[in-house]
Chains A and B, each alone.
Chain A
């Protein structure tokens, strides 16, 4: 049975660019942000409209962006640059200010390229590589203060801590609700798919935050009405797939559509356009630094190097999510020249192999030329984990 609120959300997304245009005409400003540790609550609390710049899947824009950056940048970054070059995306067109962070150094370079060639007003938040050191956290707190100051200048108002508190409460509620909804997609006899939840999460990048929260509550209510007690358990030979690795932004559905077309059921992810950024974000202090530290203390993004394998929280979280969603195999997705994830591909495979978890690395870009090659590999992988699951079930019987 279709979830009615999802239809409402799709319609609201169609209407959103025109709505943003009107809001800008009435004097509001839109901050387009991209990165992995941008404290969006600060942007929102200052009265800006935050939208996330996460666009992919268009090989032509990758080509265009590469002319300004280089062919050696990851396809996501190249597409972002290409999008600004063409300025035809209805959301990009509405951005007044851009906020980038330096978690990924290629993201940092993209900020420079966009600032240089397209004369955009760009604010950059520095992010420590030694993020787990106290000194690194202190540095990041100061960077967050500076980030807030630069936004205040553009907003023409000082940051009101009461408003920041309200913003944090709103975002906390969004995160909590998303987490609840996410459970339904992985459940037995699920009434919502992972793909639908994935789209739902990404809708939050663009919609008005209060309206989005309201729509999430409605979605959750619908789900609860349809499935009173979602239980996550393995049901026969579904081929339960977990997606890890490089981000999959809006517009890029190649991998996802192939997995589902070959009979795989996606039940979880730890990608940065999926559920992961919404997990474990605890803000202990209502201040720019306090909010920013909440972000930094989450499961770290792979672009932030961590030098001890045994205590790596990214890998621990991956294991935790695999267990929680009862995944039977991992598709480790790496985008062309996405070093944060490609450099860890073999290591991740080796680590998961110790837990007897099958992994397939898919290294791809936005071109469609590898579609059939990917389909063959993914079909074989899904078939393999189904057979493995069936064998395991027979042994248990």
Chain B
């Protein structure tokens, strides 16, 4: 009888046993495949978590290496400012997702009829009450007041790098003057001067969350204005509003990176940009939040990875154990086959073939079902796990390693039996 036929016949005749081995192989395969998918998902999720810590670096002018001038406001630095060109060059380095720089000024706001808009708590002097502490921003979403959570955009969008003349004002001021997103207001830097008055579209409205009366925030000029009397103007509009003030520039800019682990590499790349004289600028990393949590995040990753590795190793041992048990119970059979003159290699091949018959069914089924396992478990316990995905790559890896293991297991468990003569084996009967 051909060994192929013998293998099929045995498998079919002992269908209950075959089914058990099949179920075991299937379970172990699902375990290993899910483990690999979990390890990958964990890596992705950790990277995402690291990304939420908002790591950035600040490029600011180095007042220590620049000259000093003096005016009626005291001494001031004559160090060069950051230009939009420089910022664009820096932002083009890989891994930088956004950047922001701002110029501060005090703008007088009016409605389209030219009537001054009053501050939240007016003092009674028309030309003081229309003053709003304003930031000309590249991207107000990344302005520190929004990042720190002091202000929250509640309607519309942030001002960005579009060429439009845009402004974002507080909800209190919008409500006080019956303004809403889409309306137009006017702004001027210094009223009754050569400064041009520009029409700005309200693109967004923010709410004040922070406690402005907390004196912790009173460390700079902005502290003399209520948060509600702040405004954010697009860079394009600010350029027009400040066209008469050549000496105003960007003292610093913040660049936000996607992966905190890359921060140092990115900073080094930035500092190798030759067209910028780095003697005039300082680079500071802002990664306190990341530094605080990174150890705990990597601990979690390590724990999951360790669990997956331990499970995989144990699964390998289990497969070998199970196969050796099922083959050892066939000692008697081996003796008979040897006695009938069947070659040792042929017997080995038959057993390998039998296990392959089971594996051919178990492996693809494990692949298909493991794709569902994580999701099914997730929904069962009300957890969402979208990114645990078993990829064909995982399947190929596990199939190849699995096949090698199976062959090894059959050889390892058969060799001690086959070494003996049929007489010895048969006399050892159960």
User: Are A and B bound to each other?
Assistant: no
Residues of B within 8 A of A (CB): none
